[in-house]
Each structure stands twice: as structure tokens, then as C-alpha cells.
Chains A and B, each alone.
Chain A
Amino acid sequence: MKSILPIIVVFGFGFFMLVSFFIPLKGIQDTSQTFQNWYIGVMAFFIFIGIFNIIKINLEKIQRRLRDWQYSIILLICLLVMMAAGFIGGPEGGLFLYFYKNVQIPLGATMFSLLAFFVASAAFRAFRARSPEATLLLIAAVLVMIGRVPIGYWIWHGFPNLVEWIMTVPNTAAKRGILFGIDLGMISMGLRVLLGIERSYMGGGKE
């Protein structure tokens, strides 16, 4: 039961969704759409369990007075305030959008901009022309960086066009090759999951 039922669920829903793609009958398409709505709704529960876990872990941290427990209080207060603002006033509510605009967006942008400093130090280590391959990486990166700032245009007017060419020709070619590899891998993995050959996502074991 514990191993057969999940296999029936994965094969039943998966096979139906796969077959429905090729059968344009109204009844089948409507059922397929309903299953897709269920799927979207159930996916939301994955995030809800994540949020539930955040609350649980931080409450435990506060209860046990673990290291830096004081920050967990701040985290929980912010979480509850944001949820209260959203659920009471709605996602278009004033307070919810106020926090979104003045706290979440600036903090998100700053966090990502912080990476500029770390990327710079990573670049120092990565950009060493020790082999022909590393030299190609170095040249492409430097050209793209110079070509995307005004000083690049100032040095040579052709820089922006050269960067555009690098991005659309060699970059696209390699990305496309990699994408084909990923896609074919995904298809074979998808078929393995649907046929019950791949079960590792269930936690393994026969139980």
C-alpha cells in the first residue's frame, strides 16, 4: 500500500496528462484543465509547509534560547505583520504594498547588489589565463563587461556590436547545445518517473 499507492497516483495522473495533450476532446481537455488547477493549488501547499517550517524552527530556537535567538523574534514579527497586512487588507492593500515597496524590494536589490563585490573577488580567482579554455573565458567576459559600459563605446565604437555578436552567436550556440542536453535528460527522467522506475524523490526504500 505504502509503495503501490504513490506509484498508481504518479502513473495515473501523469499518464492522463500526457495522453490528454494528444486528444483534443472537450471532456478530456476539461478534466486536464481541472487537474492543472489542482496541481497549481497543491503546489502552493509546498510553500505553505516551508513557511510552517520557518515558524516552527524559529519558535524552537526562541524556546531553547539557541544562538542568535533574538533575531528569530524579529523574523517572526516581520512574518506575522506581513501576513496580517496581506490577509486583512488583501494583496493590493496599502500596508502590504508599503512593506513590499519599502522593505522587500530595497532589501532584495541590496542583497543581490552585494554579490557584485563577491563576484569581483571570484573573478580575480577565475580569470587567470592558465589554459586556452580559461583564456577564452577571460576574453569573452572582459569583452562583454567593457562592451556594456559607456567607456567601452568610448574606447572603440564597435564594442557594443561585438558584444551583441558574442551574445547572439557563440553564446547562443553553446547555450542551445546545453539546452538540448538538459531537455533530453528531462524527458528521459520524466518517463522514468511516470513509469515508476525512478522513485528516489519518494525518499527511497520499499516501505
Chain B
Amino acid sequence: MEVLGVWIASLLTLAIYSFLYKDNPFYKVAEHIFVGISAGYWAVILWFDFAWPNLFEPLIVKGNMVYLIPIIIGLLMFAPFIPKLSWLVRIPLTFTMGISMALFITQIIQGDILPQLQATFLPLAGIHPFKVFSNLLIIAGVVFTLIYFYFSKEHKGTLGFAAKVGIWFMMVSFGASFGYTVMARISLLIGRVYFLLHNWLGII
């Protein structure tokens, strides 16, 4: 069974890489298998990890009838399939939007803005000069990047220069992120090639 699994994984890997030559039936088969298996996987995981413990278990096992409300709200997602009742889809949409926006607002302030702001108030004395330089650069980078996103006044003169420096910081960041992403993808590629040569063919 284990050997069969390695063969399945290897042949599917080769089928996906065949796309590098051109779109072909092997790639399409592997692609559709991937979509089917992934959709099935998420259906099962969402049922067992989210829908069952949060909605159906309290209703069926504990007999808490209040949980009929969210189940009905969830089922209204299928309302567009009945044209006369299609507007009811707005109920689950507004329910999730209302709660997610409220959670976003509190979580963003507590989990993002305040900690990030705190992390930007860095010491500028009593430490190694290079560390002072780095801390100054972080503070300046945050301020200049924010200035770039300030659109209430035309970017001219001092403001224009500050916005330009903000662009420089962002370009370094985009370049670093790009390089980081490339390396992550290449390490995945190395992993797959290693799998083929080691686990499947046993060459290395």
C-alpha cells in the first residue's frame, strides 16, 4: 500500500510537470484529481472541525434548539437556487459580515495596530551604533511609507520627496519578498525532485 502511494504521488507529480512542455491530457487529469480531492478534503474537514462542533453537535447531541437559528441562516446560502427567495441569501451574508467586521475592528486594533506601533517605538541610545542606525531606518521607513499612502494632499515639495523615499522602502520590501518567494518555490521544487529521485527511483 505504501509503495502504491509513492507510485501514485510520483506519477501525478510527473503529470503536473508535463505542463512545462504544454497543456496536455495528463496534466488535465492530474489537475482535476487535485480539485476533486481538495474539495472533498475541505468538505470533510469543515464538517468535522467547524459545522459539527459549532452547530450540529449542540443541536443534536445536547438538544439545544437555539442552534436551529444558525443552521437556518447557513441553509439560506442556498436560497439563490429558488429565484423567488433569492434575496434571503442576504441574511447569511449580513450575519457573517456583521460579526466578521466587529471581530476585525477589535482584532486589528488589539492584534495589529497597537503591537506594531509599540514595536516601532525603538531605543535610539545606549545601544550599538549600527543598531541605532537600523532602528532609525525602521522608524523612518514606517513614516515615509505611511506618507506615500497619504493622498489628501498633492505629493509635491517635501511631501513629494518623503513619498518618494517611501517608494524606495517599498521597492526594497517588494524585492525582498519576491526573492523570498522565489526561493520558497525553488525549495518546493527541490523537495519534489528529491521525492522522485529518492522515494520513487531510489537513485539518491
Report whether A109 and B173 are in contact in the complex, using a CB–CB cutoff of 8 Å: no
Given contacts A119-B181, A138-B175, contact A41 B54 (CB under 8 A): yes
Any chain A CB within 8 A of the CB of B98? yes
Q: Evaluate contact between A141 and B98: CB separation under 8 angstroms.
A: no
In the complex, which residues of chain B have a beta carbon less than 8 angstroms from the beta carbon of A179? 112, 116
The number of residues on chain B lying at the interface, defined by a beta carbon within 8 Å of a beta carbon of chain A, is: 113
Bound Cα distance from A44 to B183, whole angstroms: 34
A104-B37, A177-B169, A193-B97 given; A186·B108 CB < 8 A: yes
In the assembled complex, B104 has its CB within 8 A of some CB on chain A:
yes
Give the residue name and chain of the A residue nearest to B175 (CB).
Answer: A140
Cβ–Cβ < 8 Å partners of A168 in chain B: 134
CA distance A104 to B178 in the complex (A): 26
Known interface pairs A39-B100, A112-B185, A145-B182. Does A45 touch B92 (Cβ–Cβ under 8 Å)?
yes
Contact A82 B40 (CB under 8 A): yes
The smallest beta-carbon distance between A191 and chain B, in angstroms, is: 7
- B101 close to A44 (CB less than 8 A): no
A24 within 8 A of B: no
CA distance A103 to B37 in the complex (A): 8
The answer to whether A137 touches B174, judged by C-beta atoms less than 8 angstroms apart, is yes
Closest chain A residue to B27, Cβ basis = A114
Q: Is the CB of A41 within 8 A of B78?
A: no
Tell me which residues across on chain B come within 8 A of A134, comparing CB atoms.
171
Contact with B along A90-101 (1 / 0, CB 8 A): 110000101111
Flag A176-189 by CB within 8 Å of B: 1 or 0 each. 11111101101101
Q: A41-B54, A42-B74, A45-B74 are in contact. Are A113 and B168 (CB under 8 A)?
A: no
B170 to A13, Cβ gap below 8 A? Answer: no
Chain A residue with the shortest CB-CB distance to B20: A117
Task: Please determine whether A201 and B97 come into contact, CB atoms closer than 8 angstroms.
Answer: yes
Q: Is there an interface contact between B141 and A102, defined as CB atoms closer than 8 Å?
A: no
Distance of A84 from chain B, by nearest CB (Å): 8
Which A residues are CB-close (under 8 A) to B48? 86, 90-91
Chain A residues lying within 8 Å of B179, measured Cβ to Cβ, are 140-145, 148
* Bound-complex Cα distance A174 to B71 (A): 43
Q: Which residues of B contact A82 (CB under 8 A)?
A: 36-37, 39-41, 43-44
Residue of B nearest to A81 (CB): B40
Q: Are B51 and A44 in contact (CB under 8 A)?
A: yes
Q: Can you report 22 residue pairs joining A to B where beta carbons are below 8 Å apart?
A: A9-B91, A39-B95, A47-B42, A71-B29, A81-B40, A106-B10, A107-B37, A110-B192, A114-B17, A141-B176, A144-B176, A145-B179, A145-B182, A169-B141, A170-B141, A172-B141, A174-B170, A177-B148, A177-B169, A178-B173, A179-B116, A181-B149
| Besides the known contacts A51-B43, A103-B37, 4 further A-B residue pairs in the complex with CB atoms under 8 A apart | A98-B1, A174-B141, A181-B145, A186-B105
